[in-house]
């Protein structure tokens, strides 16, 4: 019998965290907490949600945070937006396994975490597409998984329309998004 504190938390530990208005995530069994998002952040989430919902059709589903994405028992995240291509991944607990696309809207408190820790973990765990939306620079960066890391496949600013090579009919219009 082993006695002592757990060094790697799991989904059951995550579920035991009392609700306090903060956003908790597990990355490789380690707890990360971020403050509530700003109104600008939420506006960006809503705009991208509308664009993605207009593009993707059933059975593909677009969901906004808060929603648990359970990548492994030790990796539970709450991305801003999730695009799920396989309806079987949606359970009573949340999204089970790697979704088709995760979108994170950057904020001063989370930008470094989203660009490094989360990006590395998402790529390692098989999330095929990862997008970063930066309200400060008014840019969107689209990445595709390649061999356990992400490669940039499209970038756009407030003045441009971004087209993604894997979603040719999806156009992210800068003037519409950044209005």
**DSSP secondary structure of 70-131:** EEETTEEE--SEEEES-GGGB-SSSEES--SEEEEE--TTTHHHIIIIIHHHHHHTT--EEE
Residues 6+ apart with CB under 8 A from 45: 37, 64, 65, 80, 81, 105
Domains of the chain, by residue range, sit at 37-177
pLDDT digits (tens, 9 = 90+) for 114-170: 999 999 999 999 999 999 999 999 999 999 999 889 999 998 887 778 888 999 898
What is residue 130's predicted lDDT score, i.e. its pLDDT? 98
pLDDT at 103 over 60: yes
What is residue 160's predicted lDDT score, i.e. its pLDDT? 79
The class of domain 37-177 in CATH terms is: alpha beta
Q: What band does 21 get if pLDDT is binned at 50, 70 and 90?
A: confident
What is residue 140's predicted lDDT score, i.e. its pLDDT? 93
CA distance 136 to 158: 11
pLDDT digits (tens, 9 = 90+) for 32-87: 988 888 899 999 999 999 999 999 999 999 999 989 999 999 999 999 999 999 99
* 26 vs 177 pLDDT, higher one: 26
What is residue 2's predicted lDDT score, i.e. its pLDDT? 57
pLDDT digits (tens, 9 = 90+) for 1-18: 556 676 789 999 999 998
Q: What band does 19 get if pLDDT is binned at 50, 70 and 90?
A: confident
What is residue 4's predicted lDDT score, i.e. its pLDDT? 65
């Amino acid at each position: 019998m082993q006695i002592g504190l757990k060094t790697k938390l799991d989904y059951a530990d995550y579920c035991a965290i009392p609700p306090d208005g903060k956003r908790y995530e597990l990355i490789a069994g380690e707890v990360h907490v971020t403050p509530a998002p700003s109104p600008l952040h939420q506006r960006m989430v809503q705009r991208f949600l509308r664009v993605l919902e207009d593009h993707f059709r059933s059975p593909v589903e677009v969901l906004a945070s808060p929603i648990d994405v359970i990548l492994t028992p030790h990796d539970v995240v709450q991305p801003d937006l999730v695009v799920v291509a396989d309806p079987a991944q949606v359970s009573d607990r949340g999204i089970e396994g790697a979704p088709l696309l995760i979108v994170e809207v950057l904020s001063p408190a989370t930008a470094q975490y989203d660009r490094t820790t989360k990006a590395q973990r998402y790529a390692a765990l098989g999330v095929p597409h990862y997008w970063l939306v930066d309200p400060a620079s008014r840019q969107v960066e689209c990445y595709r998984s390649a061999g356990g890391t992400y490669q940039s496949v499209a970038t756009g600013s407030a003045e441009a329309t971004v087209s993604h090579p894997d979603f040719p009919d999806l156009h992210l219009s800068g003037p519409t998004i950044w209005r």
